[in-house]
Amino acid sequence: MNKFRFLGLSLLTGLTLASCGTTKKTVATTKTATPSIETPQPLPQKFKTVYKDKDLKNWQHTNPFDSHMPGMSTEKAYQELLKDKPADTVIVAVVDAGMDINHPDLKPIIWTNKGEIPNNGIDDDHNGYVDDVHGWNFLGSKDGKMAGPEQLEVTRIVVKYRPLWKDKTIAEIAPEDQPMFEMYQRAEKDLAKRLEHLQALRARFNRVMTMAQNAEKTLKEALKTDQLTEQAVKDLKSTDPSVLQAKEMYLGGLNTKALEGFKNYVEAQEKYNLNINFNGRIQGDNPDDFNDRNYGNNNVIPPKADELHATHVAGIIAQLRHNGIGGDGVADHVLIMPIRAVPDGDEYDKDVALAFRYAVDNGAKVINTSFGKYYSPHKDWVWDAIKYAADHDVLIVNAAGNDGKDMDQFGSKMSYPNDGDVQGQEITDNFLNVGAIGPNFGADMVAPFSNYGKETVDIFSPGQKIYATVPFGKYKFLQGTSMASPDVAGVAALIRSRYPNLSASEVKHIIMDSGLSPQILVIKPQEDDYKGEPQLVPFNSLSKSGKMVNVYNAILLADQISKSKK
């Protein structure tokens, strides 16, 4: 993840709504008259840029013309446009890791399969899944076992094809196998690069951990204690330079507790993700046989607290609003369908494709996909599932990715799942790709880690400092395009609940066409190996719409388009 120094005053010159003309697309949709929306007054050039956490718990819902944060105007929409409007209940599927369906802010809104009798060992509704009362777990076996960490897809490709193709050239490969051979060759180079980087990370971690341990030893001696607390270190008075330096390091985050996450990441990469000798697939199926589907179980709950991703995503979409605890979700009148298919490592294409089909077959109208990878050996299975969702009028909202990549550089830069890998051509019109922004208006508004692309990323939404549910009954600030995507999934569900006559494609383009387009220069995200100076680019050059999501305008536009269809 790249991080840049804050550049001072914003280069914001104003915030306007771009004209609501239809965004260019490759799949034909119903043509409707697009009404104009009144443009508010520009924002001032000077604004608050430093916030405390208490100011940010629901910043994504603020109106930017009042808060001077790039929020979505969610509260304004509820107060002025949605107060007395009738609503249907919309099912939103969250394809992700395990979800805490018993969290107090989520339990009342978890989808229940009414056609299934709990725990009777019978597929009562004949949908192919036994006792799927609250969704399905594709990361388990029929006998109840739960999968753990997984390899990355790059590792799996090397493991599978190295014995066959290690020393071969493309001239020795059958024509029908050449695309996979080229993917294998790329994977070999990529894996070697990742392992080299991991070795450097391990050396760096060891150095930093030694520094932290020595600093803590110094502090313990100064405090005459075996246990350090932050408050005790803060209160420590000393004139000894070594003690003062140790104190600064500890309070600045260079301590063994803070380094635990770094340690876990490095060890997971070494033991599982990049280890060619590890195989985490315990489901008992053949992941290369799409018709081998008799696997999984109904346990969608995470086994430990650090499997928090899905719970956070669900909370962003629909954690209970204004109940006095935690944050507020985007959408009301929503049921969350948990589908566990994303491990600690890369997801299997087969699991993703089956998860999409499960969501569609069981009534979801929106699917959130806050995951991704850069190799997809069975992308056709996933594309077929995306088309299946399109045929059943289901919108898929996808996280663009967190590697600072220009997604318009097709080929090795492509992230999966996606809606096609030919530039300018979408396989369907029900797939919405979302980048992330943070709470500051100005040069640093776009999250430095967010992927972007004028052809491939559709829109941006809040994805930094997002406060939402985590296991078990807790809340946390997290960041990523994984947090930006459920913001938009919530907006889609909000629209579909109030305007059920609008199609998935229409909802997609309403969200894109109604967004706000800040007329500012922003720091362009860069990949980790970028060595140059920060580059300033127009915000509207980073996505297809050139905009950030705005709920208020989306509801206005949805209302007018819905009425025009009656």
Q: What is the 3-state secondary structure (H, E, C) of 514-533?
A: CCEEECCEEECCCCCCCCCC
Q: What is the mean pLDDT of residues 434-440?
A: 96
Sign of CA dihedral 175, 180, 181, 182: positive
Judge whether 417 and 352 are in contact, CB under 8 Å.
Answer: yes
What local confidence, expressed as pLDDT, does residue 446 receive? Answer: 97
Domains of the chain: 15-149+291-564 (3.40.50.200), 153-273 (no CATH)
pLDDT at 190 over 80: yes
**pTM value?**
0.89
pLDDT at 65 over 80: yes
Q: What is the mean pLDDT of residues 229-239?
A: 94
pLDDT digits (tens, 9 = 90+) for 446-474: 999 999 999 999 999 999 999 999 999 99
Comparing 15-29, 68-82, 266-280, the range with the smallest average pLDDT is: 15-29
What local confidence, expressed as pLDDT, does residue 514 receive? Answer: 97
Angle at 542 between CA 540 and CA 548, to 5 degrees: 60
The residues pairing with 92 across neighbouring beta strands, listed in sequence order, are 336, 366
Average pLDDT, the chain: 89
Of residues 10, 3, 2, the one with CA closest to residue 445: 10
Q: How far is CA 40 from CA 12, 64, 542, 548, 555, in A?
A: 15, 11, 23, 15, 16
pLDDT at 111 over 50: yes
The residues pairing with 521 across neighbouring beta strands, listed in sequence order, are 538
Comparing 40-54, 65-79, 265-279, the range with the smallest average pLDDT is: 40-54
Band (pLDDT 50/70/90 cuts) for residue 523 is: very high
Judge whether 290 and 465 are in contact, CB under 8 Å.
Answer: no
pLDDT digits (tens, 9 = 90+) for 351-361: 999 999 999 99
Count of positions (residues) in the chain: 566
